[in-house]
Amino acid sequence: MAQVWNDRETLAIDVVVASKNFSIDAPVKKLNLPRSGASDSVQFTVKPNLFEGRSYIQVELLYRGYLLQSKQIAVLIIPRVGAEIPGSLRPPQSTRITFTTTDLLTNEQLALLPERFLTVDVELDQRDGCIDFRFLDRTQSNKELAFYDTNLQPTALGNAIAAIRQQLQSTLVDGYYGQVEGSVEQLNTWLPKLADDGHNLYRQLLPQNKGGLWADERGEMLQAALSPDTVIQVNPVSGEVTIPWTLLYERNIKTSSRNLVCDHFTEHDLDCTNCPNKNDPKIVCPHAFWGYRYSIEQLPCWTSNKHHSPVALVRQIPNNQPLRLSFNVWRNFKLWREHLPKLEAAGRVDIMVAEEMLQLESIWEEHGKTLDLVYFYCHGGVEELRKPYLELSDERIYSNFLKCYESTWLHHPLVFLNGCATGDYGPESYVSLIDDFLSAGASGVVGTECPVLEAFAEHYATEIFKRLFAGEPLGQAMLTVRRELLQRHSNPLGLVYSLYAAHEIALARSVSHT
């Protein structure tokens, strides 16, 4: 136990209790785990806000800011002691795990856990349909956990998200035409529009008037406290709402037709030290976008109707040499044949190409146990009744098809969704498929915030795989490529891609040629 406890006699775990249905005296308390023997109990005083009916309490367990597990308690409030409980409302109390990053909380696992300073927990309230956000913040100097929350109606939140994704799509199609090389003129035309929508969403997500602070003041505190390269842990609600976290813009912006991008941003650090434009709200600073300043991991560790059993979060893909790559393509794309030799040049890779469903089935049935990367370079979308699909040259892949491969991907491959040239492809299209990928054994998913044109999609994937094949953690690779596109090519489209996996996810063995 020395690697966790060191010379301490106890290990401090934060327990957070939250509920819209109950008032809680102190929502954050310490659970001290002793070196030996049982711990003391932690007690919370809760008072119902309702006279009667079914209500919910959320309990979360964190170690050094890292969320280990969430559990939902469903309780029945009765109007008086001894009141008759109808059979339809039994059991009067039940619990279920809604999110977990560990299967067994061993000393070794605790020792390897990374530290987090800001965790955002997202939940859908089954009673009123609100999206509930809990911000678990350890950015203060004492690293104590602060707790605050906000509740948003899906319509208002959905409109803000739709606006920024539409602006991102316009930037990609109308501004950059799907090309990699951009210009200062293009950046000045399109980045201020993204910043405006990004700041609107940022203000919506931040808690309103908690502790006497309004959203703008809370935002300024977070901005001052979060250092560049911070990894922000997000625990999203499954299949209901996804947030384009990379597009949040945390600085004030005075919107006008004369907004320009700071012409000094490449000369200064991410804190804009000594930049003459630092406090000018008419100047847009790329460093104020979360996607350039921080790394955001959206952990696919929820439980759902399709994915019941908690699965430990995978941080290392036990890959082969050469790496086994299932490459699934819509053959009418123009660049995919040029893409393959670039992947082969990046590392020792065994690429198994499937243009049609029979080829994919043959590859997965013969090599499924040794796959390290499952790459979809194809169409995708949603049919009526929110039925998501991925499309090869001759046929579409649906949830039922993926379910047939449950527990077969023993190497925990990463799934990379490079969805190109289809109008309705984005996170709401594929996020419900993540359950099926996880059930098959995937370690996580990389996906897009909007449809991506092929020229840019091909370039981005090539740059990411070069770094992944060399052993770089995927979260860091995505952050680096995003910044390089901005600084070298005046191109903001690295903000399109999102990570649904651990920031630290990496290959166990480098397959780079060097």
Are 414 and 443 in contact by the 8 Å Cβ rule? The answer is: yes
Question: What sign has the CA pseudo-torsion 412, 418, 424, 428?
Answer: positive
The domain 316-507: what is its CATH number? 3.40.50.1460
Give the pLDDT confidence of 385-434 residue by residue, as tens digits: 778 889 999 999 998 999 999 889 999 999 999 976 555 567 777 777 88
Domain ranges of the chain: 2-113, 154-298, 316-507
Torsion angle (degrees, nearest 10) of CA 311, 433, 448, 331: 120
Helices and strands in the chain: count of H runs, count of E runs: 13, 25
Comparing 142-146, 294-298, 321-325, the range with the smallest average pLDDT is: 142-146
Paired tokens of 100:
């977990």
3-state helix, strand, coil in the chain (%, to 5): 30, 25, 40
Q: What pLDDT sits at residue 270?
A: 92
Give the pLDDT confidence of 146-173 residue by residue, as tens digits: 666 777 777 788 888 889 999 999 999 9
CB atoms within 10 A of CB 84: 6
The domain 2-113: what is its CATH number? 2.60.40
Are 321 and 509 in contact by the 8 Å Cβ rule? The answer is: yes
Compute the mean pLDDT over every residue in the chain, rounded to the nearest whole number: 87
Residue 384 gets the label, from left (phi > 0), alpha (psi -120 to 50) or beta, of: beta
Quickly state the pLDDT bin for 461 (edges 50, 70, 90). Answer: very high
The helix (H) or strand (E) run that includes residue 107 is: helix 107-112
Give the pLDDT confidence of 210-241 residue by residue, as tens digits: 454 545 565 566 666 688 999 999 987 655 67
DSSP states along 380-448: EEEETTTEEEEE-SS-EE-HHHHHTTTT--TT-PEEEE--BS-TT-SHHHHGGGHHHHHHHT--EEEEE
Rounded Cα distance between 176 and 184, Å, is 12
User: DSSP 3-state assignment of 495?
Assistant: helix
Are 380 and 388 in contact by the 8 Å Cβ rule? The answer is: yes
In which residue are the tokens 């991907």 written?
Answer: 409
Do domains 2-113 and 316-507 share one topology? The answer is no
Residue 287 has what DSSP assignment?
Answer: G
Rounded Cα distance between 496 and 245, Å, is 10
